[in-house]
Structure 1
């Protein structure tokens, strides 16, 4: 083989190798995967009110210790432990026989006092007629007048004793002082109970509808509410017009509503908190005193908020970010200032607009500056999600 032939062979081999490498690159390019898919959606824009959350406890609107007002042996119990009672319902009966006897005695004493009064009146009138003719001494007339006054006082005392005897007999029937749920009996039939002043507690009753929700707010929170009210940005917390939302520990949504009706008159110096109370209607009597709950107190006036799913917010050291997709399909990271949660969505104070396409699913496949394939999604409130 000549040198020329060798050269021609080498050139041909090089050309074939070059063509082979070009074909491989084209095949690699045609086989490259498309950009990863992500779900994007416009932020939800809605008028909302910020809520500050507090933990508290439900308490009865009224609670009464039912006590004996007269002493005696318990004769009857007229309720079932734990039942609902109405004002005036009979609960206990204390042995009435001693009090009936006392009533009869008081009635007899009153009749005797009235008889003495009538006699004193007759003697006084007779003396009045005779004293003018000097047939009776003036001293005798004065004595008859005094006897009549003493008889009048005796009648008043007897009437008071009769009223007391009637009242004591009435107190032998212990009745419910309010509507509510009664507790268990604390004294059984046959036991001696004491009246005032060391009255025996027989049971307790709590009012359930409406019911109170007591909670504490910090001094800082109280000061912020007070300033907002003073500047006219919010209604005063003391006006009894602030609507609140509540939920039980096993609930995610705010299922209950109430009204803030009380703020204490001082901040507790030991804890630095202000005691507050909301009143909640409880027609089904589902809420029970002693239950824990969460209360949402309005922390702002209504405003237009930008809302995104909380899962879409990522952290970069001390910053909070949202991944967005521009018109060319490139991922852009935007620093935001997040606000509170609202019905499962995160409020975004600053950093994005309502026109941004926010990545709400597929964040693990999204890298800032890289291409993605956006798929349309929606942002909905938690109450509307399936």
Structure 2
């Protein structure tokens, strides 16, 4: 009987220990905390747009004829004045020779008319010829002079036509593929049915076109100094711009705004802008997409945190701040752009706050945590999930 009582007491003690273990509070989750990073940053906006060439030329012939030769390779870089196409010159050379012969004949007729008129001046004073005959000789001289002028014009035109058989590059840039093969008849002139032979686009510099909304446009105007705002010609041309391609992580291309349209589109409420960028290696190609960044304010000190420190509550963004009692408290913030891998916090955070930068999913508002100190910049370097664009 005594053994049964001892066994019962032992089992009861085990149950009490198990119940105490089950009711004990779980340990506080471990999180990484850091102070916000302070840096000088500028506010900026980003837009998507396309590259366009500064100059775009369609190469068309001014005279009609059979294509005799081609002097370039498809897609090569050409300089202004380089030969591109040659149209069969023989018919135009023959027309020039004929025009030169006609002008010699016209000059001979003029010389005869001048000498005939000179003889008539003495004869009319002596009444050897009538005044009517003298007037006819005067008219003949004037007709001969006009004929010489007309033949000289025809010769110049024939010479131009012969020159137009040699087509040269009007601008420097990259030429496309040939649209006509040797031996084909090329239609020239100024009519709409002329033959397109090739196209040339300038390479360096290159322009980037984009559209901005009305509010951003007004913000850029306000960002200019008073002297710049009063200048009718400057507009937004003094604003610097940075650009990156779709395969680039950073805005490595530097340029400037060179044009803003004079009207805002009524349908979309946007205005067209354009920036110019150097392109010495020809990598930037017309039609290519890119992302442009425009600064909207002078550099100012701002607080930055990793994107891993930011949580979302419906439409609001927040970070968890850890106080002296190691309790996580949410702070609602307004986000800015990403600078050097860190997110700018416009409002809602102070430089003295200690925030959770890793382990956000293990934290609940008002819960205790076990903080481990680190720097926000170090967390950004380690964490491959932080967005940089």
Which bin holds the TM-score, normalised by the shorter protein? 0.7 to 0.9
Counterpart check, 1:214 vs 2:212: no
Counterpart check, 1:40 vs 2:40: no
Deviation at 1:239, TM superposition (A): 4.1
Deviation at 1:253, TM superposition (A): 1.0
How many residues are treated as equivalent by the alignment?
Answer: 365
Deviation at 1:190, TM superposition (A): 1.0
**Scaled by the length of structure 2, what TM-score is found?**
0.83
Q: Does structure 1 conserve the Cα–Cα contact (< 8 Å) formed by 2:318 and 2:333?
A: yes
Pick from 329, 333, 340 the counterpart of residue 330 of structure 2: 333
2:60 corresponds in structure 1 to: 67
1:355 corresponds in structure 2 to: 352
Q: Does structure 2 conserve the Cα–Cα contact (< 8 Å) formed by 1:235 and 1:242?
A: no
Which SS does the other structure have where 2:377 is aligned? coil
1:185 corresponds in structure 2 to: 178
Counterpart check, 1:275 vs 2:272: yes
Pick from 294, 313, 316 the counterpart of residue 313 of structure 2: 316
**Taking structure 1 as reference, are residues 355 and 385 closer, same or farther at Cα in structure 2, changes over 3 Å only?**
same
Counterpart check, 1:85 vs 2:83: no
- Distance (whole Å) between structure 2 residues aligned to residue 366 and residue 188 of structure 1: 72
**Taking structure 1 as reference, are residues 79 and 150 closer, same or farther at Cα in structure 2, changes over 3 Å only?**
same
- Distance (whole Å) between structure 1 residues aligned to residue 344 and residue 328 of structure 2: 22
Deviation at 1:35, TM superposition (A): 5.2
Which SS does the other structure have where 1:186 is aligned? coil
Q: Does structure 2 conserve the Cα–Cα contact (< 8 Å) formed by 1:51 and 1:298?
A: yes
Q: Does structure 1 conserve the Cα–Cα contact (< 8 Å) formed by 2:220 and 2:236?
A: no
**Taking structure 1 as reference, are residues 281 and 136 closer, same or farther at Cα in structure 2, changes over 3 Å only?**
same
1:201 corresponds in structure 2 to: 196
- Distance (whole Å) between structure 2 residues aligned to residue 155 and residue 188 of structure 1: 41
Q: Does structure 2 conserve the Cα–Cα contact (< 8 Å) formed by 1:116 and 1:151?
A: yes
- Distance (whole Å) between structure 2 residues aligned to residue 104 and residue 55 of structure 1: 59
Deviation at 1:57, TM superposition (A): 0.8
Q: Does structure 2 conserve the Cα–Cα contact (< 8 Å) formed by 1:35 and 1:373?
A: no
Counterpart check, 1:300 vs 2:297: yes
- Distance (whole Å) between structure 2 residues aligned to residue 150 and residue 353 of structure 1: 96
Which SS does the other structure have where 2:301 is aligned? strand
1:4 corresponds in structure 2 to: none
Q: Does structure 2 conserve the Cα–Cα contact (< 8 Å) formed by 1:217 and 1:276?
A: yes
Pick from 326, 336, 339 the counterpart of residue 342 of structure 1: 339
Counterpart check, 1:152 vs 2:142: no
5+ residue gaps, structure 1, are 1-12
Q: Does structure 2 conserve the Cα–Cα contact (< 8 Å) formed by 1:345 and 1:381?
A: no
Which SS does the other structure have where 2:336 is aligned? strand
Deviation at 1:372, TM superposition (A): 1.8
Q: Does structure 1 conserve the Cα–Cα contact (< 8 Å) formed by 2:328 and 2:369?
A: yes
Which SS does the other structure have where 1:188 is aligned? coil
Q: Does structure 2 conserve the Cα–Cα contact (< 8 Å) formed by 1:41 and 1:379?
A: no
- Distance (whole Å) between structure 1 residues aligned to residue 56 and residue 205 of structure 2: 12
Deviation at 1:206, TM superposition (A): 0.8
Deviation at 1:283, TM superposition (A): 0.5
- Distance (whole Å) between structure 1 residues aligned to residue 271 and residue 106 of structure 2: 61
Counterpart check, 1:240 vs 2:233: no
Q: For residues 299-326 of structure 1, give each alpha carbon's deviation from its aligned partner in whole angstroms, at most 9, with x where no partner exists.
A: 3332221111122111234432222233
Which SS does the other structure have where 1:240 is aligned? coil
Q: For residues 90-144 of structure 1, give each alpha carbon's deviation from its aligned partner in whole angstroms, at most 9, with x where no partner exists.
A: 1111111100000100110111111111222222222234444444433333322
2:3 corresponds in structure 1 to: none
Provide the aligned C-alpha RMSD in A: 3.3
5+ residue gaps, structure 2, are 1-5, 385-389
Which SS does the other structure have where 2:107 is aligned? helix
Deviation at 1:32, TM superposition (A): 9.9
Q: Does structure 2 conserve the Cα–Cα contact (< 8 Å) formed by 1:323 and 1:334?
A: yes
1:257 corresponds in structure 2 to: 254
